[in-house]
Structure 1
């Protein structure tokens, strides 16, 4: 994984980006969803 990732107010290398198993979004599936209609 390349590039920088913004986590908890700081930029970290992509290789160091981790999600805690206690993260509310991870535990309960919360998230932001975007939809687009296709015909």
Structure 2
């Protein structure tokens, strides 16, 4: 499941992509609610 990374930069990039994806998916679900609260 886990691939071996040759450098910390590569690992960091993979983590950033995962976090980005995770936040995007969560945001899609909650975006409308958040906007309604702000307005």
Place the TM-score, normalised by the shorter chain, in its bin: under 0.3
TM-score, with length taken from structure 1: 0.23
Higher share of residues assigned strand:
1
Higher relative contact order (CA 8 A, sep 6+): 1
TM-score, with length taken from structure 2: 0.23
